[in-house]
Amino acid sequence: MGKSRSLLSRTRTRSAWLVLLPMLVTLFVVAAWPLGRTIWFSFTDASLDLMADAQFVGIRNYLEYVKFGDEDGQYYGLLADARWWRSVWNTIYFAVVSVSFETLFGLVIALVLNQQFRGRGLVRAAVLIPWAIPTIVSAKMWAWMMHDQFGILNDMFQRLGLISEPVAWTASPDTAMIAVMIVDIWKTTPFMALLILAGLQMVPQDIYEAAKLDGVPAFRTFRRVTLPLILPAILVAVVFRTLDALRVFDIIYVLTPNTDATRTMSVYARENLFDYDQFAYGSAASTLLFLVIAVITITFIMATRMDLEGKRS
């Protein structure tokens, strides 16, 4: 019996790798290999037309000191590029502010949807709609609503007395980032709300009953009981959204193209790769963005000791 069991388990193991193979090969060709090539290109002089003959040039794309004379010289490369650092800052600023507001609004919406009231199903359906709308479409819709002359947003705000004259939301450097963040917050708050709602629904109802009987004010119950219990769900949602926000591209490309005020790391990288014919330089930017995201992801996995084998479930 023992022998046949082990034979069986060995054939099972072999067939496991066999059925895994197509998926693994696909992921290797679409993910691992291209990533490796991107990193390699970042250390070469590759250009769009000459990829195969790219020569290794060391870290020149990242940093290089060029001597002009005896004492004189200047640093070149990504790490010495003010535009790059501006886009790093833009990305971080965008991610932090957007995700904060999304968490706050998502929490409010989740708390509302967690109540029993008439028409709850309809409200939940309505909340999902921004999530269902393609990012490009959202960006275009808002671009029209934020139009400086004919936009309904300026009209509304003027009627409400919030602004005295029309604002060029997307064109002016002062408001371009705000415009982008409004669209992102509008579009992704539903995702946040759903994840937090899933956390809320796992909180046992009798806790609330007990707190109510003891006369604990609703806000105290929320802070002392609900919030600690849903904090893990919120954290997971925040990490997912942050990783997403750090690679933002579509909204900015459509809503505010070509402004220093909103250029993010992804936009910077693509510009160099395909618009400015600086393929190697753009690859270096892509590589750095990948590193940033990898560090955050690994930290997150370590910190939460993710349950991969399903032992705890």
106-165 residues in contact with other proteins (CB under 8 A) are 108-109, 112, 115, 117, 119, 123-142, 144-145, 147, 149-152, 155
CA 244, CA 98: separation in Å to the nearest integer? 11
Question: How far apart, in Å, do the first and last CA atoms of the chain sit?
Answer: 31
* Site track for other proteins across 19-58, x = CB under 8 A: xx-xxx-xx-xxxxxxxxxx--x----x----x-------
User: Minimum distance from CB of 62 to other proteins (Å)?
Assistant: 15
Torsion angle of C-alpha atoms 222, 227, 229, 233, degrees rounded to 10: 140
Q: Which of 66, 207, 303, 306 binds other proteins (CB under 8 A)?
A: 306
* β-strand partners of 76: 64
With CB under 8 A as the contact rule, which of the stretches 5-13, 63-71, 172-180, 220-228 interacts with other proteins? 5-13
Q: CB pairs under 8 A, 24+ apart, for 137-140?
A: 138/183, 138/186, 138/187, 138/251, 139/183, 139/250, 139/251, 139/254, 139/255, 140/254
Sequence-distant (≥ 6) Cβ neighbours of residue 55 within 8 angstroms: 44, 45
User: Minimum distance from CB of 261 to other proteins (Å)?
Assistant: 18
What is the DSSP code (8-state) at residue 44? B
Interior angle at CA 165, CA 159 and CA 171, nearest 5: 115
Give per-residue burial for 272-284: e unless 16+ CB within 10 Å, then b. Answer: bbeeeebbbbbbb
Nearest residue (CB) to other proteins, 59 versus 306: 306
Nearest residue (CB) to other proteins, 177 versus 283: 283
Q: Is 13 in the site for other proteins (CB under 8 A)?
A: yes
Q: Is 276 in the site for other proteins (CB under 8 A)?
A: no
Nearest residue (CB) to other proteins, 31 versus 66: 31
CA 117, CA 135: separation in Å to the nearest integer? 31
With CB under 8 A as the contact rule, which of the stretches 56-64, 93-101, 160-168, 185-193 interacts with other proteins? 185-193
Q: Is 287 in the site for other proteins (CB under 8 A)?
A: yes
Nearest residue (CB) to other proteins, 169 versus 191: 191
Are the C-beta atoms of 232 and 198 separated by less than 8 Å?
no
CA 150, CA 165: separation in Å to the nearest integer? 13
User: Minimum distance from CB of 305 to other proteins (Å)?
Assistant: 11
Q: Which of 167, 179, 245, 254 binds other proteins (CB under 8 A)?
A: 254
Q: How many residues bind other proteins (CB under 8 A)?
A: 104
User: Minimum distance from CB of 145 to other proteins (Å)?
Assistant: 6
CA 245, CA 256: separation in Å to the nearest integer? 16
With CB under 8 A as the contact rule, which of the stretches 69-77, 81-89, 96-104, 266-274 interacts with other proteins? 266-274
Q: Please list every residue from 63 through 82 that binds other proteins, using CB under 8 A.
A: none
